[in-house]
Amino acid sequence: MDLLRAFVRVAETNSFTRAGQMLGASQSGVSLKIKKLEDRLGSALLARSPRSVRLTSFGARFLKDARDLIDLHDRVAERAAGGQTGNRLLLGISDHAAGNKLPAVIRQLSRSLPNHRLQISVGSSEPLFKEFKAGFFDAVMVRSDDIDVPAQTAFLEDLVWIASKSFNWPSGQTFPFVGLTNSCALKRLAEDTLKEAGVNFENVYTGTSVDAVQAAVSAGLGIACLNRRNIPEGCDDVGEMFQLPELPNTRMALFTRHSEQTGESVGSAILKAFQDNC
């Protein structure tokens, strides 16, 4: 089961690092579990590159089977122990909302919702919200600017310009912008902010996830626009240092289904977990 859980966590977060944080394991430990599982299955589950981790076609097909096996195992184990099987709570979290506080958020949710079995996926806001509307999630925490739907604000957070503490941007040189793909509303906002301020920029790195952007910034490739909770270790807010234009706040919104399983108490628990760990 440990191998399956590692695979599902990596598939949900698109990150060995975040999967390890959720499982209480090191990145190398998670990678080893995935390799063992692939060896047993005789096929690759994940395609790895310096910028991203994605499912292979076989991995995408196997993901549902892995989740079903874990769910069956947990229910049987709980019944054998004389316990009651809890309600499954499928929660989608934008990688912008996740940040380095995600393990603390999950721990608090586990304590506050003891009768629910959490299944969490981390990804981009727009596809998560589409899957929520299609019924694949019970609740999602997403950036409200990434979806074209009025939403109540769950919490606000500062957007900041971040770079490695050792990064040097010589005066007069073009702004080295590290960002997500063009479909990301945050990237468009950052580019518009630079244009309005008359700052010439070039895209030196385009990543498919917040993790990929963090890695590029940590490596000293340039400057990125992210929310404050996503400042990686060894990096800092450099807006004042380089006299960059101010950025607005980013708004996170929570959507839940109104049912017995995900009622007001569940929504309140999710909100409190994020607000306590802002």
The per-residue pLDDT of the chain, averaged, comes to 86
Pick from 238, 206, 230, 262: nearest CA to 157: 230
**Which CATH number covers residue 212?**
3.40.190.10
Can you read off the two tokens belonging to residue 108?
């608090």
Domain tally, the chain? 2
What's the pLDDT score for residue 42? 92
- On the question of pLDDT at 69 being above 70, the answer is yes
Against a cut of 0.75, is the pTM above it?
Answer: no
Residue 216 is part of which domain span? Answer: 157-245
Compute the average pLDDT of residues 74-81. 69
pLDDT of 116-159, one tens digit each? 888 888 888 888 888 888 777 889 999 887 787 777 788 888 99
Residue where a domain terminates, one of 49, 68, 85: 85
What is the separation of C-alpha 154 from the centre of its chain, rounded to a whole number of angstroms? 17
> Using one digit for the tens of pLDDT, what is the confidence trace for 79-116?
676 555 567 788 999 988 887 788 889 999 999 998 88
For residue 253, being part of any structural domain is answered with no
Give the residue from 17, 75, 16 showing the smallest Cα distance to 45. Answer: 16
Q: Let me know if residue 193 belongs to a domain.
A: yes
Same domain, 1 and 81: yes
CATH label of the domain that carries residue 33? 1.10.10.10
